[in-house]
Amino acid sequence: MPKTRSSFVCQNCGYRAPKGFGRCPNCGQFNSMVEEIQEVAKPAKQNRQPTGTLRSTPQRLGEVSMDIGERLYVPMEEFNRVLGGGIVPGSIVLLGGEPGIGKTTLLSQVSGVIANEVGIVLYVSGEESAAQIKMRADRLSIEAQDLFLLTETNLAQIIEQVNRVNPTVLIVDSIQTMYAEDLESSPGNVSQVRECAGRLQSLAKSSGICVFLVGHVTKEGSIAGPKVLEHIVDTVLYLEGDPFQAFRLLRSVKNRFGATSEVGVFEMSGAGMVEVPNPSEAFLAERVVNAPGSAIAVTMEGTRPLLVELQALTSPTAFGNPRRTPNGVDMNRLLLVSAVLSKRVGLRLHEQDIFVNVVGGMKIDEPASDLAMAVAMASSYYDKAIAADLAFIGEVGLSGELRAVGQLSARLHEAAKLGFKRAIVPKMRRKVDDVPNGLKLIDVRNIAEALAVAVPRE
């Protein structure tokens, strides 16, 4: 019998220790250490080959080839955009998201189009039976000769089948269900997840197959089977959105082959994910004009400007502490903006509950949408609607001043494209060039000046 050794591994950060702790000494998580049995490796032989697939000698920087192989163009523009212009052969991509958000749906559709237009796809599912996947594929009207299904969770078997089928793209749904036989721990454990991902990465690099891994996220919102997974892969994508809303955002948070924070926008329909090429238009589609408490912000998601409607409602606090309820915006920004409105403009918000909502289920964390949030709150407070042709861009500082934001020109063009006639922006030290025709810039120094234009008090 091979000798075994037990050790304790933190399921949150992957820290390993010979004995368990109630609290992980590395990341501070409570009750996260789990015992794992390991076989003790045979002593290394003198002539052992180095591990890893890449053996190389030092090269001069100038002589290094930049050839990453030709990107495979997926006939699904929103998906390509997030990947940085297509799939890079030999790369490994992790797609994370909450259960039920649409990861399997999206990847089934992507497999369908790739199998039809690019090459063979092997879809490995550890969660659903082949019949279930077929039913979904029928619902999504996926018909592809070159799409192969495999329901398997044993990694060695999967790699054997990959060598047989030799696909262009391999999809593993999900990495938490896979296991390597030679490891004692159960599937989903951090050692299994890390080992399986590591082996699939070597497979991708040595064979040129592009691998997509589906990863579940934990309650806290990070991909289960910790950060180590994010280090192994080349690209990390998150599919996010409000499950009660139709819009889904595919966001890249790490990309070794392209820009990060790119987003692709989809709409979940009865027939799967539908691309939304003009998201601003879609987000503003249900806008009610002349309603108090609504303001339009122009945010940037990667290189793409997006117009979103921010709604605020202030209502007198019934008793006790006033409540602050953000939905789609950061709580801290909501607190900051409401404090600035109280102190610098004199709104009596300390006796008001405040609710802020981003329409369409979007999440915005860009400070450039502060101004829209402030104006929406003031508009609800005074019960006075904001003119429908006004868009707002600007970050709010602690003394009520408006701070400049990046990529102003791209934002202005998007606003003009959607028919906005005026934009309130922070006063710049130099003249803004490239202002679109038909859009009037109103530059203001502080929040009080912005309110004087947006919600005038006579």
User: Would you tell me which residues interact with ligand TYD (CB under 6 A)?
Assistant: 97, 99-105, 136, 139-140, 268, 270-272
Local structure of residue 144 (DSSP, 8 states): -
Q: Which of Mg ion, ligand TYD, none lies near 270, with the C-beta cut-off 5 to 8 A by kind?
A: ligand TYD
Q: Scan for tokens 């690209």, then name that residue.
A: 235
User: Whole-angstrom Cα distance, residue 283 to residue 418?
Assistant: 11
Residue with smaller CB distance to Mg ion, 104 or 446: 104
Q: Which residues touch 46 (CB under 8 Å, ≥6 apart)?
A: none
Do 310 and 369 form a contact (C-beta atoms < 8 A)? Answer: yes
* Phi, psi of 35, rounded to the nearest 5 degrees: -75, 140
Residue with smaller CB distance to Mg ion, 104 or 192: 104
Closest CB 217 distance from ligand TYD, rounded Å: 10
Q: Which of ligand TYD, Mg ion, none lies near 268, with the C-beta cut-off 5 to 8 A by kind?
A: ligand TYD
* Phi, psi of 339, rounded to the nearest 5 degrees: -65, -40
The site for Mg ion, by CB under 5 A, has a size of: 1
Report H helices in 84-151: 103-117, 130-139
Residue with smaller CB distance to Mg ion, 216 or 251: 216
CA-nearest of 222, 154, 150 to 187 is: 154
Q: Which of Mg ion, ligand TYD, none lies near 271, with the C-beta cut-off 5 to 8 A by kind?
A: ligand TYD
Closest CB 96 distance from ligand TYD, rounded Å: 9
Closest CB 281 distance from ligand TYD, rounded Å: 22
Q: Give residue 386's Cα distance to chain centre.
A: 32
* Residue in the shown chain whose Cβ atom is closest to Mg ion: 104
Residue with smaller CB distance to Mg ion, 104 or 369: 104
Residue with smaller CB distance to Mg ion, 132 or 163: 132
Q: Scan for tokens 């904001």, then name that residue.
A: 386
Show the beta-strand stretches assigned E in 152-228. 169-173, 210-216
Residue with smaller CB distance to ligand TYD, 174 or 207: 174
CA-nearest of 405, 403, 410, 402 to 433 is: 410
Task: Decide: is 192 part of the binding site for Mg ion (CB under 5 A).
Answer: no
β-sheet bridge partners, residue 294: 311
Run of H or E including 411? helix 408-417
Q: Which residues touch 378 (CB under 8 Å, ≥6 apart)?
A: 341, 345, 347, 451, 454, 455
Closest CB 128 distance from ligand TYD, rounded Å: 8
Closest CB 176 distance from Mg ion, rounded Å: 11
Closest CB 304 distance from ligand TYD, rounded Å: 23
Residue with smaller CB distance to ligand TYD, 105 or 369: 105
Site for Mg ion in 58-117 (CB under 5 A): 104
User: Whole-angstrom Cα distance, residue 20 to residue 33?
Assistant: 6
Closest CB 103 distance from Mg ion, rounded Å: 5
Closest CB 147 distance from ligand TYD, rounded Å: 16
Closest CB 212 distance from Mg ion, rounded Å: 12
Q: Which of ligand TYD, Mg ion, none lies near 456, with the C-beta cut-off 5 to 8 A by kind?
A: none
Q: Which of Mg ion, ligand TYD, none lies near 99, with the C-beta cut-off 5 to 8 A by kind?
A: ligand TYD
Residue with smaller CB distance to Mg ion, 177 or 299: 177
Q: Which of ligand TYD, Mg ion, none lies near 136, with the C-beta cut-off 5 to 8 A by kind?
A: ligand TYD
Residue with smaller CB distance to ligand TYD, 140 or 435: 140
Residue with smaller CB distance to ligand TYD, 167 or 272: 272
Structure tokens at 70: 């030709």
Do 294 and 379 form a contact (C-beta atoms < 8 A)? Answer: yes
What's the burial of 270, exposed, middle or buried (CB within 10 Å: 0-12/13-18/19+)?
Answer: exposed
196: left (phi over 0), alpha (psi -120 to 50) or beta: alpha
Q: Which residues touch 295 (CB under 8 Å, ≥6 apart)?
A: 309, 310, 312, 372, 373, 375, 376, 379, 386, 390, 392, 454
Site for Mg ion in 235-264 (CB under 5 A): none
Q: Which of Mg ion, ligand TYD, none lies near 168, with the C-beta cut-off 5 to 8 A by kind?
A: none
Closest CB 109 distance from Mg ion, rounded Å: 13
Q: Which of ligand TYD, Mg ion, none lies near 139, with the C-beta cut-off 5 to 8 A by kind?
A: ligand TYD
- Characterize the bridge pairing of strands 304-316 and 395-396: unpaired
What's the burial of 155, exposed, middle or buried (CB within 10 Å: 0-12/13-18/19+)?
Answer: buried
Question: What are the residues binding Mg ion (CB under 5 A)?
Answer: 104
